[in-house]
Amino acid sequence: MTAFAFDNSYARELPGLYVPFRPVAVPAPRLLYFNRELALELGLDDAALAGAQGAEIFAGNALPDGAEPLAQAYAGHQFGGFSPQLGDGRALLLGELIDSHGRRRDIALKGSGRTPFARGGDGKAALGPMLREVLVGEAMYALGIPTTRALAVVATGEPVYREQVLPGAVLTRVAASHLRVGTFEYFAARGELDSLRRLADYAIARHDPALAGSADRPLGLLRAVAQRQAELVAQWMNVGFIHGVMNTDNTTISGETIDYGPCAFIEAYDPATVFSSIDQGGRYAFGNQPQIARWNLARLAEALLPLLADVDDVPAAERAVAQVTEVIDAFPALYRAALLRGQRAKLGLRDGDAADDAADGALADDWLALLHRERVDFTLAWRRLAAAAAGDASALRALFVEPSAPDAWLVRWRARCAAEDAAADDAAADGATVDEAGGAAATGSGAPPALARARRMREVNPYVIARNHRVEEALAAASDEGDLAPFERLLAALRRPFDENDAQAPYAEPAPAEVTAGYRTFCGT
């Protein structure tokens, strides 16, 4: 059996916070996808796992030495309503590895059969949703957004019954951890303070070790999670990603994106965009994601309160409430700062002084309002702005119903760019290095500032995203016809999101408006 150097801290340190359980064997495992790069990063034998042995392991038919499969317990607020017991109903944590960078990583199966947390479900997964996890997770990874990743997908050789009969599959998912806001809610709701304390200390040791030993470490954990979630959601917003189901059980402590169910990318820019079939009220619409992240953090704060003060000590309890409220109230500013850092890069601007924040924020907001008003494709608009930086705005104007619509805004943007370049020149003339000046002339190649700015913008504004219609085409071919070629071609394109060439062009085009208007995504459970 191929060696997995498991070091299973969750199983070892948190007895009582999970249920040991074994995956259900499948009749005919066949490896459809295997991420060799990720396997090597995890210190695994990629050659051995790429064949029949890997199929047996990733299907759950064979357990590697040292695996301790378990179903984690967690609760969650789902669309605002509290479910006190959710847990891994069709997933199992096999164990943990220390990767080649010294990071602890979870190795988990999804679709591996019913567990005690299954709540009446069959515990299985269909092929299409598991391949979606691969496509969108790898797209996010290539975009530099924290994410869980798929190590493997195995066809099970048995059907899964949803609205129709579908081929079954098991996904192997890699994560910094599977700790969620809902994990804390589970034990807080039960009043199991010892378990809650052990969980918090474990999360701190794993994700924020600098806090270990501090008296107010639960508060420090809340602050750290708030910062990570602010940065994560800002990155989502800057690429047009809609998670689709931002329940607290899908909000990680690590700050990774998890659970690519009814997710999608916006095309024509509209903050009210909802594609998820289960989000009837638009709770998780694109523009609502920052507010929902804050709401979810408030639920984490509530769960952590018993660790900050004894509820019977009224003055201490009131201080604890004030402390966590301060963290939650600070979240919008954390998010806005993270969003603006990303927007400045997308606009071709360096990080500005605090004095520039309001003006640069207004510049970005007005750009988005322009895209919304004209129903312009979000991704291509940012990409074509890079060409405008280099002096040719024709491709950008062609995206608008009224080609002159962006002209007034472009005047403002170019004036801001020119002011930044002039400041860099002045600083250089005063003896500062170009890098110290922070100006656009810091090209490393002697290119004119405009061309250097355009190059920088192309490095952060993707040409290719996981276009919804392309994803659906690939999944349909794999699920309905057993043809993985469209999936493999799309995956290759998504792994090079910033490359603009003829081979990438088919994956950069938006779907027809009528297709996008009727597009819906589904949970897959």
Distance CA 34, CA 25 (A): 20
Q: How far is CA 365 from the centre of its chain?
A: 23
Neighbour tally for 33: CB within 10 Å: 25
Place of tokens 């009446």: 120
Query: Would you list the DSSP string of 122-166?
Result: --BEEHHHHHHHHHHHHHHHHTT--B-EEEEEEEEEEEEESSSEE
* Strand ranges, E, within 433-525: none
Tell me the one-letter amino acid at 492. Answer: A
Residues with Cβ within 8 Å of 148's Cβ and at least 6 positions away in sequence, in order, are 137, 173, 174, 175, 256, 257, 258
Euclidean distance between CA atoms 504 and 497, whole angstroms: 9
Catalytic hit among 106, 249, 279, 356: 249
Q: DSSP label at 210?
A: G
CA atoms within 13 A on the CB side of 391: 5
525 within 8 A of 171, measured Cβ to Cβ: no
Please name the amino acid found at residue 169. Answer: A
CA gap 197, 320 in Å, rounded = 16
70: helix, coil or strand?
A: strand
Q: Does 313 participate in catalysis according to the annotation?
A: no
DSSP annotation of 89: S
Which residues form the catalytic set? 249
